[in-house]
Structures are given as C-alpha cells and as structure tokens.
Amino acid sequence: MKTWKHINEEQRKVICSGLAHNKKLYQIADMIQLDPRSVSKEVKRNRIPIDFTDGAKSNCSKLNRWPYVCSNCKNRYNKNCVFVKFKYDSKIAQRKADANLVNSRKGIDLDLNEFNKLDSIIKKGTDDNKSIYQISIENKDDINKSITTLYRYVNKGYLTTKRIDLPYAVKYKKRKHNKKYDYSSNNKIDRTGHTYLDYLSYIHKNPGINVCQLDFLGAIKTDSNNILSFILPFVHFTLLQLINKPNCSKVVKFFDDLEERIGTEAFMDLIPVILTDRDPNFTDIEGICFSKITGEERCKLFFCDPYVSSQKPNVENINKQIRKFFPKGKSVDCYSKKDVKEKNIVLLKSPLRSLDGYTPEGAFKNVYGEDLCNKIFVNGER
C-alpha cells in the first residue's frame, strides 16, 4: 500500500527557509510532517552549484552530510574557498520535480518481449483490415492496454503499424462530382406511398419497428457483377449477395429465397420495413413487398430522397466497411459467390464497440435465436 506522498511546493519553501535559518534536519522534517530521510534526500538531490569556476574543486567534506549546501558555512563568501559552493532553491527544485514526474510517465509501460508481442498482434490485425477495437477484443487475453492507449502508441509512432495503416484514419480528399447519377428510368416510376416522407409517417405511427436497409455496393462500368448489401441495423447483421447483371427480378429473388428459408412468419417479424435508394433494380415494389408463398404483404418498402444517402446511414457505413475487401475503382468480377460469402462471415464475426464488444452474429443469435441465424446464413446457399 502506498504510504508516501510527493513533496509539494509549499514544503520545499519551508525547507529552503529552514536551511537559511540554520534549522536542524529533524526540526525541518517536523515542520512539514515528513520523515527526516525524505528531507535529507530532497536537499541532496536538488541542490545546485553556485560560484562555479574552472579551477574549483568539488570534494568539500562538509557537503557530504547535512545540510549538503553552503547556506550557513562560514566560508560561503570567502573568495579564498577553492570548493564548488551549493545552494537549495525551492523554485528550481519544484521545476525539476515537475519535469521528472512528466518524464516518468512518457514512453511505453512494457518490457521488450511484451512490446514485440503487442507490435506483432497489432500489425497482423491491421494487415487483415481489422480496426484497433476489433484487434483488442479478439486478443483481450494478450493485450492489457486500453483502446485509447493503443491508438496513442500508433499515433506516436511506437509501433510498426502507422496511422496510415488504420482503416479510414487518413483524411479523405474532397471528391470531384462531375456528374450525378442519372437513372432515366426512374422518371416513369410511381412511388406514391413509398417516399421518404411516407416512411417518416409510418415509423411515427409504428414506433420501435425494425427498419432494414438495402443498397448495392457499386461497381465499375465494365463489371457485370455487383454486390447487394442488406443490413438489420440494430444488430448490425449484414447479408451480402453477389449478383450477375443485377435487375429487379434478381433482387426480388433474393427476398423470395430468404422467405423460403426462414418462413413467411419469421420474414415478417424480421423484415417489416425496408429502406433503400432509388436504384432502378429496387423498383419492383410489389415483388419485394408481397409474398410468393401466401400472396399477402410481407413487408413495407420506402425510398430515400434523391442524392441524400444520409437517410440510410447504416447501409452506407457497411458499404464503407465492405470496401476494405472490395476496393473502390477495382473490378468485382474476379470474385466468386464463395469469396463474397467468406467476407460476409468476417463482417458477422467482427466484434463491434456499438454492440459492447459482441459480434453481429452473436447479437443476432441472442435476439432471434441460433436456429434462425443458421437458416438465414450458415445453412443458406446464397
């Protein structure tokens, strides 16, 4: 148990005054309620030389014991004294103590082996496009540092991993918007009752209802494939589907296959509302909203306003996470459905701070049960 305290500035002033008035060591210690040994070490440690000359000697025997300074030496002002003279200054002693306190807390509180192990874990994780938070959660038995400390190690340059190696740590350049997306086919679509304003009205009347979000990742013009991303935001559960030459019928098939695997009742409970953008591939409102099994409405579909992606932030954020695996400007035609499924598994098994360290898969199983999770993803051939 810690029983000692740092000597403060007021106590140092008392020490300085006591030395000037030729007080005994025990007297000064009693005045500031400290052990005499602490006072003795303080003076000896923080004394400073004065009247130093090139020919001065530093082996005056009187300075080897209390008071360790020349405050009351009869030869203090004697020019014939050949020794280096010392004094104790409370202000200088306080500045030295403050500097030592700061320096003692700099650097890394690890030995070489611990540091090398930590450096290796962080480097391997960032090479796999994992965040510092995810690395920390997955290696909590080997990493006993906080998330803030790990980020500080990276930002200070202590680790092999640099700030530029972290996902999204480097600022983006301002984007060039030469041309907005122009879906000419959108002009002929009647979205009455399915606009974003209708969506706001619906969730106001049905507070707390689950709202799923749907989008395409986006591909280069020469690609024939694209990746459909579908997310249940409150548990961050994401489904990815590689679709060749996307169209309305293939998007509808995605939901039909999902309903067939889990059942209409589970589908209606899991996906009561879908919010998406105005991509022409999402325009078969009846196909998405109505069940092929029962013919009844299985969900509601609403569209965001044009060019306002912030209205569906969850799926936009997921698309940003997916970009770690499928970089923007690169073709996705070289990937198979198996490749996309593997990346989907990585997303589902990644611990998230917003889920208190749980994975989306774990959160989904906790809410809906393991059986439904297996039907949707693990056992589902998508």
Nearest-angstrom CA–CA distance, 308 and 329? 22
Q: How far is CA 141 from CA 91, 121, 127, 146, 158, in A?
A: 46, 12, 20, 13, 21
Cite the beta strand spans of the chain per DSSP E: 48-50, 85-87, 211-216, 225-232, 237-244, 273-276, 300-303
Residue 146, judged by CB atoms within 10 A of its CB (0-12, 13-18, 19+), counts as exposed
pLDDT at residue 19 greater than cutoff 50: yes
Task: Give the model's confidence band at 1: pLDDT under 50 very low, under 70 low, under 90 confident, else very high.
Answer: very low
Cα–Cα distance for residue pair 288/230, rounded to 1 Å = 13
Strands 85-87 and 48-50: antiparallel
The HSE-up count of residue 51 (CA atoms within 13 Å, CB side) is 17
**CA distance readout (Å), 22 to 7, 17, 67, 69:** 20, 9, 9, 11
Spatial separation of the C-alpha atoms in residues 122 and 220, rounded to whole Å? 33
Q: What pLDDT was estimated at residue 39?
A: 93
Got the DSSP string for 136-193?
HHHTTTT--S-HHHHHHHHHHT-SSS-GGGSTT-SPPPPPP-S-----GGGGG---TT
Cα-Cα-Cα-Cα dihedral of 318, 319, 320, 324, to 10°? 100
- Rounded distance, CA 354 to CA 185, Å? 38
- Residue 162 · residue 154 · CB < 8 Å: yes
What pLDDT digit, counting tens, does each position of 343-353 carry? 999 999 999 88
Lowest mean pLDDT among 57-71, 112-126, 146-160, 362-376: 57-71
- Nearest-angstrom CA–CA distance, 137 and 140: 5
Closest CA to 32 of 86, 73, 101, 90: 90
| The predicted structure's pLDDT at residue 309 | 85
Segment among 98-107, 199-208, 223-232 with least mean pLDDT? 98-107
Statement: residue 54 has pLDDT above 90: no
Residue with tokens 């008392």: 14
pLDDT at 185 over 60: no
> Whats the size of the chain, residue-wise?
382
**pLDDT single digits (tens) 276-288:** 999 999 999 999 9
* Model confidence band, residue 42 (pLDDT cutoffs 50, 70, 90): very high
Cα-based angle 320, 355, 206 (whole degrees, multiple of 5): 85
Mean per-residue pLDDT, 220-247: 92
Residues 6+ apart with CB under 8 A from 96: 46
> For residue 379, what pLDDT is reported?
44
CA atoms lying within 13 Å on the CB side of residue 311: 19
- Fold exhibited by the domain 185-378: Nucleotidyltransferase; domain 5 (3.30.420)
Region 184-206: mean pLDDT is 85
The predicted pLDDT at position 79 comes to 75
Cβ partners under 8 Å of residue 245, min gap 6: 224, 225
